[in-house]
Amino acid sequence: MRFHSPQKLKTIADLIGSKFVGSEDFEVLGTNEIHMVKAGEIVFVNHPKYYDKALNSAATIILIDKEVDCPEGKALLVSDDPFRDFNKINTHFTRIYNFREELHDAEIGDGTHIHHSAVIGNNVTIGKNTLIFPNVVIGDRTVIGDNVVIQSNTVLGGDAFYYRKLNGNFDRLISVGNVVIENNVEIGNGCTIDRGVTDSTIIGEGSVLDNQIQIGHDTVIGKKCLIASQVGIAGCCVIGDEVTLWGQVGIASGNKIESGSVLLGKTGVNRDLEKGTYIGMFAEDFKTYLKKEVKLRNLK
């Protein structure tokens, strides 16, 4: 999430009541998660296991629960609860409406038809010649391109599934990102695409999604992908261009699928995959799988 205008380190520290390490005029441009963070942005870390990853990331401001040596050219915000204060920063700079207030400020292109039963949030942009079917829900800040088809009961821009356990309960990391649907995308019935926590969940140009597909926060789907029914993709995944995912494929969080890959029905993914065709619970190379099956059947 980029702020509307650059902030100063001391301003952010005063907002959350934290100590800071660095010049009080150190420029802060926004916030982001570790896998997408860029120079000028804040990333949070609250466990020693991940200190080095955060300190050595592209982030130039680290919201951390302990004062440590600060890398050159960076700054620290030292907080007793970085998770809580990350939420506080994000919701200070991004208003959360949750459909309780309607601004009726959607920008809608020529030739677009939206069924009267669709619900559209605030700060939404929809391109030209797009068709939105009954009972579609479009969350705040969603961006939809030209020539897009979104079929009934699909939800774009729901909350990210991102929690921590706190005092025996689940505490949500509030999502202030959005969903971006590029041009010429078709989305089937009953799909759910969560918005990014601090960045965008993206469906690339020309991709086609079947019915009942779940795509998690901050996942990026490439161009001209084909995704069949009941596929589940967790958050922070990167799917390359022209990837085919057949029915009930499941992809765990943070994994990458190289362009041109094909995942056959019910394939499970728990690691990055190079270009190829895969099958099985642990995404086995399809040719290797067939050879193994032949050998097993020939056993006497």
Asked if 123 and 228 sit in the same domain, the reply is yes
Name the residue range of residue 43's domain.
Answer: 2-94
Please indicate, yes or no, if residue 39 is contained in any of the structural domains: yes
Please indicate, yes or no, if residue 295 is contained in any of the structural domains: no
166-194 pLDDT, tens digit per residue, is: 999 999 999 999 999 999 999 999 999 99
Asked if 206 and 273 sit in the same domain, the reply is yes
Please indicate, yes or no, if residue 85 is contained in any of the structural domains: yes
103: left (phi over 0), alpha (psi -120 to 50) or beta: alpha
- Of 94, 129, 146, the residue that ends a domain is 94
**Tokens standing for residue 214:** 């779940």
The pLDDT value recorded for residue 294 is 87
Asked if 128 and 45 sit in the same domain, the reply is no
Asked if 192 and 231 sit in the same domain, the reply is yes
Asked if 122 and 75 sit in the same domain, the reply is no
Asked if 279 and 257 sit in the same domain, the reply is yes
Domain count, the chain: 2
Residues annotated as catalytic are 217
φ/ψ of residue 52, rounded to 5: -60, -40
CATH value at residue 222: 2.160.10.10
Query: End-to-end distance of the chain based on CA atoms, in angstroms?
Result: 61
CATH value at residue 69: 3.40.1390.10
The pLDDT value recorded for residue 297 is 85
205-240 pLDDT, tens digit per residue, is: 999 999 999 999 999 999 999 999 999 999 999 999
Asked if 222 and 271 sit in the same domain, the reply is yes
Asked if 87 and 233 sit in the same domain, the reply is no
Asked if 262 and 125 sit in the same domain, the reply is yes
Please indicate, yes or no, if residue 192 is contained in any of the structural domains: yes
Asked if 152 and 187 sit in the same domain, the reply is yes
Q: How far is CA 197 from CA 39, 212, 232, in A?
A: 18, 22, 18
CB 222 within 8 A of CB 260: no
Please indicate, yes or no, if residue 186 is contained in any of the structural domains: yes
Asked if 154 and 239 sit in the same domain, the reply is yes
pLDDT in tens, the chain (300 residues): 999 999 999 999 999 999 999 999 999 999 999 989 999 999 999 999 999 999 999 999 999 999 999 999 999 999 999 999 999 999 999 999 999 999 999 999 999 999 999 999 999 999 999 999 999 999 999 999 999 999 999 999 999 999 999 999 999 999 999 999 999 999 999 999 999 999 999 999 999 999 999 999 999 999 999 999 999 999 999 999 999 999 999 999 999 999 999 999 999 999 999 999 999 999 999 999 998 888 888 886
Please indicate, yes or no, if residue 223 is contained in any of the structural domains: yes
Please indicate, yes or no, if residue 136 is contained in any of the structural domains: yes
* Pairing relationship of beta strands 2-8 and 27-31 according to DSSP bridges: antiparallel
Give the chain's mean pLDDT: 96
- Of 64, 94, 124, the residue that ends a domain is 94
